[in-house]
Structure 1
């Protein structure tokens, strides 16, 4: 039996010297190392995603709080001034006519009531402004833009005087005919 234990030990020693056995052991170690690296990378990605989701919720809450603190821009309200304005003016001895349809852009829902109440003063200011224009000036795009800006100022002046705020953002020409 003593011979059996000797023979059993000899194959183990012989296996250690065998290059195929050594290569298999190296492959096993390599597979274990690659598996461990992949496991660590997976854990790292999972922790990173978890931390990002935790920290990304905080800025979203801050953004919501900031947006609640800022006043939100109210939707546009378009207020047509009707009937259309028709004025006449002289151009080189000829009588000329201007028909202009205006619409006001505003955002405050209380302003239309004020516009209704003070419409005679607003229409008067606009008629005086429109009738004081020259035909040559209004033929150009720059002249029409300048008239639009002057009309905005006139209406804002009336509203500032009557209700204490400008009330409107823009005056828009929706129809503009000269003859």
Structure 2
């Protein structure tokens, strides 16, 4: 019996070596192809995303910067006007700033400042103290000022683009 045991061990060893040297099974080849295919897809997606970011992303970002215009403020000299009488003489002392979005508008409005001030004086002096003392009255006055400031300075010329007015001082006496 001692002679048969070593023969069993010798026969088992060549079978194990034969399994290691044998070609890979079809299942392991499928896994290899799947892994390589997934790697190619990921690399392609990364390359496509990189191309999009470098080529298309710049134009989208540039468009956003151009769309967001920086506000420009035009500070006007204070106004003092007589209000429409209700309970005796009343005065309005007001300082304001106009909001525009283009430097060309600033130059145009400054060039026509006497006409702008005249229009605003007419609007302010047409009001009663009771009309402009509330928040709603101030909002209405602000809208009236924007409307007057946007009127063209001469016939057949485009209107200005004043988009807001901010009161920096507002005193009724």
Change (3 A) 1:126 1:69: same
Match of 1:56 in 2: 49
Does structure 2 conserve the Cα–Cα contact (< 8 Å) formed by 1:160 and 1:166?
no
Please say if residues 152 and 158 of structure 2, whose CA atoms lie closer than 8 Å, have aligned partners that are also in contact. no
1:25-77 deviations in Å (ceiling 9; x for gaps): xxxxxxxx9xxx7x889767754542332222343322323455678133111
Rounded to whole Å, the distance in 1 between the matches of 2:91 and 2:114 is 21
Instruction: Give the structure with the higher percent helix.
Output: 1
Rounded to whole Å, the distance in 1 between the matches of 2:73 and 2:9 is 98
Whose strand proportion is higher, 1 or 2?
1
Aligned counterpart, 1:8? 6
**CA root-mean-square deviation:** 3.6
**In terms of mean alpha carbon deviation, does 169-178 or 148-157 score higher?**
169-178
Tell me, yes or no, if the aligned pair for 2:86 and 2:128 is still in contact at 8 Å. Answer: no
Aligned: 1:117 with 2:102: no
Aligned in 2, Cα 1:98/1:58: closer, same or farther, shift over 3 Å? Answer: same
After superposing the two structures, state which structure 1 stretch, 158-167 or 145-154, moved more: 158-167
Unaligned regions of 5+ residues in structure 2, if any? 14-26
Match of 1:132 in 2: 126
Could you tell me the TM-score, scaled by structure 1's length?
A: 0.70
Q: Quick check: 2:152–2:159 contact (8 Å CA) kept in 1?
A: no
- Aligned residue pairs, count: 158
Output one character per residue of 1:82-122: Cα deviation in whole Å (capped at 9) or x when no partner.
1x011112332411111111111112112222112111111
Q: 1:46 to 1:165 in 2, by over 3 A?
A: farther
Gaps of 5+ in 1: 17-32
Pairing 1:66-81 to 2, within 5 Å after superposition: 66-68=60-62, 72-73=66-67, 74-81=69-76
